[in-house]
A and B are shown apart, each in its own frame.
Chain A
Amino acid sequence: MDKTLEVKNLTKIFSVGSIFSRTKITAVDNVSFHIRPAEIFALAGESGCGKTTTAKIILGFEEPTSGEILFKGKPIWTWRRKPRQYMKDVQAVFQNPFETFNPLKTVDEFFYETVRNYGIAEHKNDVEAVIRARLEAVGLSFEEIRGRYPSEFSGGQLQRASIARALLTNPCLLVADEPVSMVDASLRMSIVNLFKKLKDEFGLSVLYITHDLATAYYVSDRIAIMLRGNIIEMGPVDLVLTKPRHPYTRLLRESVPEPDPQKKWVQKITVTTTEHEEYLRKGCKFAGRCPMATNRCKTEVPKECFLEDGVMVKCHLYEQEDVMQAEIIGSQQASKKR
């Protein structure tokens, strides 16, 4: 099977604190996933769970502590020997459109820069034609953008411009880090529909990083849920979000406010007090808040359980259903019999 991006056992450890007390925070802990061509893969979780760090490592803005990332089959460090070649294929869109552009410079400057630096077009007319085409694909016109500063746009418009810029190089992977969190809830659809359209028409793959499960459900094909650096559930989005297995996924899913007065929240939840509390837990990181936590959860880190329908869960509750485990036990028993 063709994999556009493959992340294997990625780990990133940060050292924080002062000279006298340094703590090691494992921001990304042995994370593995892959993205296929023309697929929208969602990476979801609360803020501070390590998803942005993962994105930065994929883009090359951070170095991993250990692990491997393969792009189109080859390790990233070989790609990054020619950074332009890599960045042509892997582009990004960020959370805050007003920060994505330099507030003291016009928006179209980045467009011209991208086209010229990657050698997409030379002649002035060709350059304009390329930019115009991309802007139309996102629903903006060249006249709207020309000569204007970021502060003259609304968040939604600017975010679309940011996506247009990322598309100029015809990338095959778009890393979108919380692209709609700063956009009004009612306007998120226009941005998210864009991703769908680009996937369908141009075969673009998107790594959609978000904490908004509703849009993740709407637009993505597969999803991975991250908690404090670990992927605790992963699989087709229909299964994971309509039949969540892991207690944390259930919590996330229930916490999405539904625009329906009949479906109000009933249960109360607990929240962490300090940033680092959960990161430093031994055993399962969710044990402090989990309604089904046992003593084992507090001491032993759960391993990955692969379930029948293709979903992966990292939880002690599902050990019996692990098909891989069953296979191993099955083959062990078979060899014993011989």
Chain B
Amino acid sequence: MKLIRDLFKDYRFAVAFGIVCLILLLAILSAFSPYDPRNAYQTPRGLPPSWQHPLGTTWLGQDVFWQLTFAVRNSLTIAIIASIISRLIAIIVGVLAGYKGGIVDRVLMSIGDSTLTLPIFVVLVLVSLVLRQWVRQLVNLGLLLAFFAWAWDARVIRSQVLSLREREFTFTSVLSGMGSFKLIFKQYLPFLLPVVFTTLINNMSWAIGMEMTLSYLGLGIDPSIPTLGTMIQMAIYRQAIFLGLWWWILSPIAASVLLFVALYWISLSLSEYLDPRARMQRIGGKQ
């Protein structure tokens, strides 16, 4: 598609895309893992990287490479759930608040602002302690993170909608007989999507980061489920550095750093490309 071709002209997007593909490949490979990720002592312990075990093995007798594939898959799952659900909530709330205005706007924004003022960390810790069993599931953590992530963007979307509502083509749409729903969907969405997409990707980074932090503290996900966070936590808990098993701790760290950089670059190049003013310049150049 022309869109993809244009994006690839930006070197940052090209490189980042490559990294993301690599990571996705890892995630897909997890389906072919010969080892069950939850079981320990399936391989000799503490082996350095070799042909048989490309990233070595852990002190608990697990193959680091195959662990990583699961870790990547699970972390991405949490991130995707958290970001997509929070985007959906943000769009619905933002559009309702901006378009309807009045009391609907006030109520929705108050709710949103309340979630913004909550100390995320404290709440997450509390929930992890109180609802220990519930939070251990991947999906639930995703939902919990989504709860904190929608308010900011809802406000951004709301202000966009407010300004779009005053523009003349809104009147033209009404005069053309378009109902509110169609108006928002067809006319406003092209303006709103750029914001949504870039924050989606930023949100994914944030979600992965939060998960890693929680796991590092021993809260959140069940430590036997491999995620980037739990892998690091396990490695540190089991004195990987002390024991000289650098491959065990370096692999998840390297993977997450690569992932963060890639996501950042994608969101950067996407937002530059989708900026409405830049789009209009490109449209004009068609002559």
Contact = CB atoms under 8 A, between A and B. Distances in A.
Contacts of B190: 102, 104-105
A100 B171 CA distance: 8
Nearest to A112: B176
B100 interface: no
Assign chain A's interface to a size class.
20 to 34
B175 A91 contact: yes
Contact of B187 (A105, A152, A166): A105
Given A117-B178, A118-B177, A100 B172 contact: yes
B171 A165 contact: no
Contacts of A103: 276, 280, 283
Contacts of A104: 190-191, 276, 279-280, 283
Interface string B30-52: 00000000000000000000000
Interface string A156-199: 00000010011000000000000000000000000000000000
A115 to B, nearest CB: 9
A152 B287 contact: yes
- Interface size on B, as a range, is 20 to 34
A94 B166 CA distance: 13
Contact of A117 (B172, B176, B187, B287): B176
Contacts of B284: 149, 151-152
A118 B175 CA distance: 10
A96 B168 contact: yes
Contacts of A74: none
Contact of A100 (B169, B187, B280, B286): B169
B173 to A, nearest CB: 7
Contact of B175 (A92, A96, A109, A152): A92
Interface string A62-94: 000000000000000000000010010001101
Contacts of B9: none
A275 B123 CA distance: 52
A230 interface: no
B5 interface: no
Given A84-B177, A104-B280, A152 B172 contact: no
Contacts of A118: 177
A96 B176 CA distance: 17
A147 to B, nearest CB: 10
Contact of B169 (A87, A102, A151): A102
Contact of A152 (B173, B178, B286): B286
Contacts of B283: 103-104, 149, 151-152
Interface in B177-199: 177-178, 186-187, 190-191
B164 to A, nearest CB: 9
A110 B173 contact: yes
A92 B173 CA distance: 11
A113 B177 CA distance: 7
B2 interface: no
A152 B279 CA distance: 13
Given A105-B190, A113-B177, A113-B178, A165 B286 contact: no
Contacts of B191: 104
Contact of B177 (A59, A87, A100, A109): A87
Contacts of A105: 186-187, 190
Given A117-B178, A151-B283, A152-B286, A101 B171 contact: no
Given A99-B168, A104-B191, A105-B187, A110 B287 contact: no
B176 A113 contact: yes
Contacts, number: 68
A100 B177 CA distance: 15
Contacts of B287: 152
A210 interface: no
Contact of B171 (A61, A109, A114): A61
B177 A101 contact: no
A71 B167 CA distance: 27
Contact of B168 (A59, A94, A149): A94
A114 B169 contact: no
A102 B280 CA distance: 11
Nearest to B164: A102
A162 B175 CA distance: 12
A247 B279 CA distance: 50
A118 to B, nearest CB: 5
A185 B287 CA distance: 26
Given A104-B280, A151-B284, A165 B168 contact: no
Contacts of B174: 61, 87
A165 B279 CA distance: 25
B70 to A, nearest CB: 42
Given A104-B190, A152-B284, A99 B167 contact: yes
A113 B172 CA distance: 11
Contacts of B172: 94, 100-101, 110, 162, 165
A204 B187 CA distance: 30
B177 A117 contact: yes
**9 closest A-B pairs (Cβ-Cβ)?**
A117-B177, A99-B168, A114-B176, A102-B169, A104-B190, A113-B176, A151-B284, A149-B283, A94-B168
Given A100-B172, A104-B279, 18 more contacts: A59-B175, A87-B174, A87-B177, A96-B168, A100-B168, A102-B190, A104-B191, A104-B283, A105-B187, A110-B176, A114-B175, A117-B178, A149-B283, A151-B280, A151-B283, A152-B284, A152-B286, A152-B287
27 contacts: A87-B174, A91-B175, A96-B168, A99-B167, A99-B168, A99-B169, A100-B168, A102-B169, A102-B173, A103-B276, A103-B283, A104-B190, A104-B279, A104-B283, A105-B186, A105-B187, A113-B177, A113-B178, A114-B175, A114-B176, A117-B176, A151-B284, A152-B283, A152-B284, A152-B286, A152-B287, A165-B176
